[in-house]
Structures are given as C-alpha cells and as structure tokens.
Amino acid sequence: MFLLLVFSLLTLRIDAQIKIRTEDDNNQLLNKAIVYDSLNNFGNDEQGRRSELFFALLNKKFDTKTDAINSSRRVYQQFIGQQVLILPKSKRMAAFDNMYSTDEYAYLRGRYYTIADIEYEIEEDYFTGMFKLDELTFLLDNGEKKKTKWTISPLFIDNHALIVGFYEKLKSLYLNTVFVYKERRQRQTKDVKTGELVGLKGESWNCSDIQLVDNGLVVQLYAILTNENGNEILATFGAPLYDELDEDPTSLHYFMKKSDFMKRVAMLSEKFGEEDANLIINNQIRIGMSKEMCLESWGEPIRISRITNSERASEQWIYGPDIYLVFVGNVLSEIHN
C-alpha cells in the first residue's frame, strides 16, 4: 500500500503541469514596449477587470527605487498625450464633500485635460526594504498656460477619470449593436423614462448610446438600450452594483450580440434538432436530455455530487438551494426546480 501511494504521488508530480506565475513572467510583461490601444481605462477594461500588465506592476516589489520608477514609467507613459475627463462625483457625494471639504480636487471634476506628464511616488517597505508604486501625480494641461497636478492611487484611478479614447473605442464597438438577453433567470429592470419594470427576455435591445450617469452613488458609464416598444434601460459594463436608479440593476454582461445569438441557434439546431434547440435557447430542459444539452441550457452547476447506492450511481448537478438536476449515466432523469 505504501509503495502504491508513493508511486501515485510520483505520477502526479510528473503528469500535473500546473502553471505557477513567477517573477520572470512579471518581468517579461513589464519589459515590453507599450502603445496605448484605447482598450483600457488606466489598466482596466470596460468590465473593470485589471489587465495582466497592470496587475503585475501593482503587485510587484522592486530591489531599488530606480527600478520601480522605470517599470512604472514604462507602463504608464502610454497615457501621456491622452485626453481625459476627471469624473464628477454623484450629487450625493458632492454635497457631502462640499459640507465637509473632503475633496481637494473638486475644482478638477467635470473638466477635460490632456495628460502632459506623470510623476511616480514610490513607497519603501519598512520590513523588507523593497520598493513599489504608491501614487501617481498627473500633470494636466487644459490648453491654458498653467498646468495642474492631480495625485491619486493607481488602484482607484479608473473610478475617477475616463480616457476619451477609451470612451470612443467603446462607442465604436457597441453603438447600434443589437443585443438579446441570455441569462436563465428572468430579470426586470426599470424603464428610465417611465420608471416601470420591463422584462428583458424575448426582446431585442439596441445600444443607442453610451453615457455617464449619476446613479446616486457614483457617476459611471452605462450602455443605453432601447427596444422596439420604446422602452429604454440602463446597463452597466461591469458587474452591476445596487444603486438608487434600480434595485436590481442590469449589466451588458447579461446580454449577447444578436448576430452571435442567431449563430448559436443554428449551431444548436444542427447539433440537437430544432425542438431541443428552442428549449435550450429559452434555458429550458426536459427529462432525457444529455449532460451537454443541459450545460448549454443552464450552464455550469455550482457543484456536482456523485451518489452511489445498491441500485444505481447518479450525479446531482446543484444550481442553488433546492435547484438541482439528477443524471444517471449521461441522461437527465430528475429535475428539481
């Protein structure tokens, strides 16, 4: 038994090729020449996801202050010359700041500037003596003779500033694109014109504009979606957070392009037949479906439990409290929903 265990462990060590990120990986990223591509807003994409490059820089500690400055400059110099809007605060936050004078850069907000230069504040770790990027100071040019300095943490800059080129790129990617709702859960969201709840499923939604909107907490980008009935809704680009505009806000992540949707319908019809394809597209399932068909319809389960007794071996695909599917072999035998 002991020899078998040792052999199994040795086999695992030989076969398992799990990639572990190393300092060399980070160094290769930080040493690449970078040209701004308009696909990121200070390192974050439209869904708020930080790119590998910026993640590597913000999590790396350097041996010397000079190394930290040079790597930071290599990453951020792509933004020099870009036009940027310093985002206004929501009315609620602005009123709070006015009352308590907590925003030293209130005079910059809602104005456009060109980034003329960037300075890098490097912090030394007291315990290790290593160095890392702490703050950025932007030299902002409004077209007049006097330039203004703006200092902010690189962790939060995308919440306070919007690069005009990034905004224009989003418009070129999404404007006048038709979307359909793809999620299994039916959602309703508020019509911004009437305040009434509107169902998302079964409608075609055209992205008519992309706008900054004060949602009561922050000012952020939304896709403006309209349907043939004249309803108009707001969809965030990233994960939706509670806001005062809608108790159940929606996200563009819940939609897919209608052109991609039609391709998927054709693929599913060819693979499973028209009847089952229609069920899958509408996130419905039936007894007798295969695991692949259920994955296409409901997506990945939260977890899978395997149950074996004297009568049979089965799998439970668990999607939520009291929501699960039971498979015997590759066939759906029970639906608990």
201 and 93 part of one domain: no
DSSP letter string over 92-129? HHHHHHHHHT--TTGGGTT-EEEEEEEEEEEEE-TTT-
The amino acid that residue 237 corresponds to is: F
Residues contacting 49, CB < 8 A, separation 6+ = 238
pLDDT at res. 215: 87
The pLDDT score that the predictor gives to residue 42 is 94
pLDDT value of residue 245: 61
Q: Are residues 253 and 304 in the same domain?
A: no
Specify if 32 maps to a domain.
yes
Total domains, the chain? 3
Output the pLDDT for position 7.
36
Residues 146 and 67 placed together within one structural domain of the fold: yes
Q: Which domain covers residue 206, as residue numbers?
A: 175-258
- Domain's final residue, options 163, 194, 222: 163
3-class DSSP state of 296: helix
236, 245 contact by CB (below 8 A): no
pLDDT tens over the chain, length 337 residues: 434 433 333 343 444 455 555 555 556 656 666 889 899 999 999 888 888 999 999 999 999 999 999 999 999 999 999 999 999 998 888 888 888 878 889 999 999 999 999 999 999 999 999 999 999 999 999 988 789 999 999 999 998 999 999 999 999 999 999 999 998 888 889 999 999 999 998 899 999 999 999 988 889 999 999 999 999 999 998 877 656 566 667 899 899 999 999 999 999 999 999 999 999 998 999 999 999 999 999 999 999 999 888 778 899 999 989 999 999 999 999 999 8
The pTM of this model reads 0.79
Please list, residue by residue across 177-209, b when 16 or more beta carbons sit within 10 angstroms of its beta carbon and e when fewer do.
bebbbbbeeebebbbbeeeeebebeebebbbee
Q: Which residues pair with 178 in a beta bridge?
A: 206
Q: Is residue 4 part of a domain?
A: no
- The answer to the question of residue 59 being in a domain is yes
Give the domain-ending residue among 258, 275, 294.
258
What pLDDT score does 12 carry?
A: 38
Asked if residues 170 and 46 have their Cβ atoms less than 8 Å apart, the reply is yes
- Predicted local confidence at residue 23, as pLDDT: 56
Residues 126 and 181 in one domain: no
Asked if the structure places residue 270 within a domain, the reply is no
The answer on 250 and 182 residing in a single domain is yes
The pLDDT, as a whole number, for residue 278 is 93
The CA distance from 53 to 267, in Å, is: 36
- 3 is a domain residue: no
pLDDT of residue 9: 34
Q: Are residues 124 and 32 in the same domain?
A: yes
